[in-house]
Amino acid sequence: MKEVELFSDGACSGNPGPGGWGSILRFKGIEKELSGGEKETTNNRMELLAVINGLESLKEPCKVTITTDSKYVCDAFLKDWLSTWEKNGWKTAGKKPVKNKELWEKLLELSHKHELLWTWIKGHAGHPENERCDKLAVEARKKIAQ
């Protein structure tokens, strides 16, 4: 199984507002940058889409180390929130519908295809790939907001 690194970040101006996401995939020293955005979105949606789009661009099942500054995305897997949400009919502990359900379902589907390893890092703390992903996300947000 190929081992790939995926770095991701999302950005939003206003919450909701125009947003962008950026991802970097690295395999054997070769990198691919991805980005995109939505006119009316939230930061959490952009964080999810950064990971989803990175994983969707892989052509075969891989072992993927995902590095993100999103506790929202990382903790859903590391703290197993997804199993609880699914078991509770996609409701939170407070009995409210889980936001971004369709994106969580897509990410969950992708997690069954790939072997995912999650790493959380502090955002805007000088991590080179995180800073590049942030730049990609901000550029995508600005482009879509025009």
Cα 127 from chain centroid? 17
Dmax of the chain from CA atoms? 45
Reply yes or no on whether 9 is catalytic: yes
Crossing angle of helices 43-56 and 128-145, rounded to 10°? 110
CA 35 → CA 24, 70, 79, 139, distances in Å? 9, 17, 27, 9
Reply yes or no on whether 75 is catalytic: no
Choose the catalytic residue: 10, 22, 37, 54.
Answer: 10
Choose the catalytic residue: 47, 54, 114, 129.
Answer: 47
Choose the catalytic residue: 9, 36, 54, 114.
Answer: 9
Reply yes or no on whether 89 is catalytic: no
Reply yes or no on whether 10 is catalytic: yes
| Residue 145, H or E segment | helix 128-145
Reply yes or no on whether 112 is catalytic: no
Rounded Cα distance, 48 and 8, in Å: 9
Choose the catalytic residue: 22, 69, 114, 129.
Answer: 69
Reply yes or no on whether 124 is catalytic: yes
| Catalytic residue ranges | 9-10, 47, 69, 124, 134
